[in-house]
Structure 1
Amino acid sequence: MAQFTGRHALITGGGRGIGAAIASALRATGARVTIVGRTEEALRQTVAAGDADEFAVCDVTDGEAVARAFGEAAGRGGAIDLLVNNAGGAFSAPFQRTTTADVRAMLDLNLMSCVHTAHAVLPGMVDRRYGRIVNVASTAALKGYPYVSAYVAAKHAVLGLTRALALETARSGVTVNAVCPGFTDTDLVARSVDEIVAKTGRTAEAARAELTAGNPQGRLVNRTEVAAAVLFLCGPGAGAITGVALPVAGGEV
């Protein structure tokens, strides 16, 4: 239960949902946990609940802000050993109504955030010859979905980045992997349900049924199940696992 004692973990998008579940799981197994996000109140609540040690308010689409926040976090809590890139978001529209600005926004939030954070932590990890980077991608990194083309493209790019960095760091003691959750019981999915209801007039139950129809288990994934996959990939027993995309999706992919 103390496999991460002495390790400093940083989780982006750590104030709620999957990120908060990952923070709680890592802290419960001994890690010092810093969470990063844009909403201070959510971050404060997660720290107050005992699921993280400290927080930093930071827009992860801003490379300079990331470098500054990560440097300050390392100064307070020690070098960052474990990085979990959980920050992200989706945008829904038919492709013909998806603008280039929409695509760039999805790339900034889902892909460039991972680029900025990797730039911030990789030099130190390579120097120390130890590190774990886990990118929370999505089943949208492994397959297509209609009406979220910009999001799907961005998540596919996250997986490509994961595989490339895994090869570049393969002999350095650093591993780089991705977890790919299906539809998970989070605020993001709740908002998706609300959007389906608003656009189609269907009931919330029918909207949730539509989202879970692709999962052979017929349910939403639990955020703690995603956290368990991240814990495994961060753990000492996963040192020979790098460049993988681990689906947490009930058999969907």
Structure 2
Amino acid sequence: MLDGKHAIVTGGGTGIGLAIARALADQGAAVTITGRRREVLEEAAGDRLHPLVMDVTDEASVSGGIAQAVEARGPVQICVPNAGVAEGRALHKTDTEFWRRVMATNLDGAFWTIRESLGSMRQTDWGRVIAISSVAGIRGLKGAAAYTASKHGMIGLIRSLSEDYLGQPITFNAVCPGYTDTEIISRNVETIRDRAGISEEEAMKIMVHTNRHKRLIEPEEVSAAVAWLCGPGSQSINGQTIEIMGGQS
């Protein structure tokens, strides 16, 4: 289905990003997977998965990395800004350094990745931009003001771009998963446990019960949605938020 297409997935070496990269590669795309840890990317690499060390919080790294990927594999036609940090902190405990780190990764990184990918995508006759936002992009997440603001911002960016390119062969959508079974969950369990003074089991229950169907989302559920947005008949899905949380938000 995606033979001849070049995709770029930031944060593509682990978790949701790796599941997305594999799903696109299974459909025939050549997929550039980016991240900061070379060893993680090389471990994930395969026949159609091509590692690229790139830091989405660094504009020069993003512009140089995407230029390198385009030179190697042609125009980017599928852009998946996925790299992000998921950390909560009460607003009165949020200093500017923490705020900027969350914004730099989740929002600035998405902006730079999309902007640089569009440079080559606009020269082609087909393109898909699919940002990985969050349930926090749809509703406020308790104790995570910075994270929530960054994910709302990502959705605003996608909606604006869908209007800018309306009627052209490029679509812009956001996928918004609930709590997903990745290594981020393990880190958050420890953070919630220590912050709230509760057991790991109780901390896990808090996250699981945020999902409407009371279970963690599988990464493959997210990657299936991304693959669908790249498939036949998806051309009229534009400027939308695809919510994966087991029920209404």
Q: Is the 8 A contact 1:10 1:82 kept in 2?
A: yes
TM-score normalised to the size of structure 2? 0.96
Q: Is the 8 A contact 1:142 1:156 kept in 2?
A: yes
Rounded Cα–Cα distance in structure 2 between residues aligned with 1:183 and 1:148: 14
**Corresponding residue number in structure 2 for 1:211:** 207
Q: Aligned-pair distance for 1:127?
A: 2.3
**Corresponding residue number in structure 1 for 2:68:** 72
Q: Aligned-pair distance for 1:198?
A: 2.3
Q: Aligned-pair distance for 1:236?
A: 2.9
Which letter maps to 1:18? I
Q: Aligned-pair distance for 1:201?
A: 3.5
**Corresponding residue number in structure 2 for 1:118:** 114
Residue deviations 1:1-46, cap 9 Å, x none? xx11111111000000000000111111111111001111110110
Which letter maps to 2:247? G
Residue deviations 1:209-240, cap 9 Å, x none? 11111222110000000000111112232111
**Corresponding residue number in structure 2 for 1:7:** 5
- The 5-angstrom pairing of residues 136-151 of structure 1 reads 136-151=132-147
Rounded Cα–Cα distance in structure 2 between residues aligned with 1:206 and 1:51: 41
Matched, 1:194 2:190: yes
**Corresponding residue number in structure 2 for 1:235:** 231
Matched, 1:97 2:93: yes
Q: Aligned-pair distance for 1:252?
A: 4.6
Q: Aligned-pair distance for 1:78?
A: 1.4
**Corresponding residue number in structure 1 for 2:78:** 82
**Corresponding residue number in structure 2 for 1:130:** 126
Q: Which of 243, 246, 249 is equivalent to 1:250?
A: 246
Q: Is the 8 A contact 2:10 2:81 kept in 1?
A: yes
Matched, 1:54 2:47: no
Rounded Cα–Cα distance in structure 1 between residues aligned with 2:37 and 2:150: 23
Q: Aligned-pair distance for 1:53?
A: 2.4
Rounded Cα–Cα distance in structure 1 between residues aligned with 2:47 and 2:185: 22
Q: Is the 8 A contact 1:185 1:223 kept in 2?
A: yes
Rounded Cα–Cα distance in structure 2 between residues aligned with 1:124 and 1:216: 39
**Corresponding residue number in structure 1 for 2:17:** 19
Q: Aligned-pair distance for 1:136?
A: 0.1
Rounded Cα–Cα distance in structure 2 between residues aligned with 1:22 and 1:212: 22
Q: Which runs of 4+ in 1 moved over 4 A?
A: none
Rounded Cα–Cα distance in structure 2 between residues aligned with 1:140 and 1:216: 14
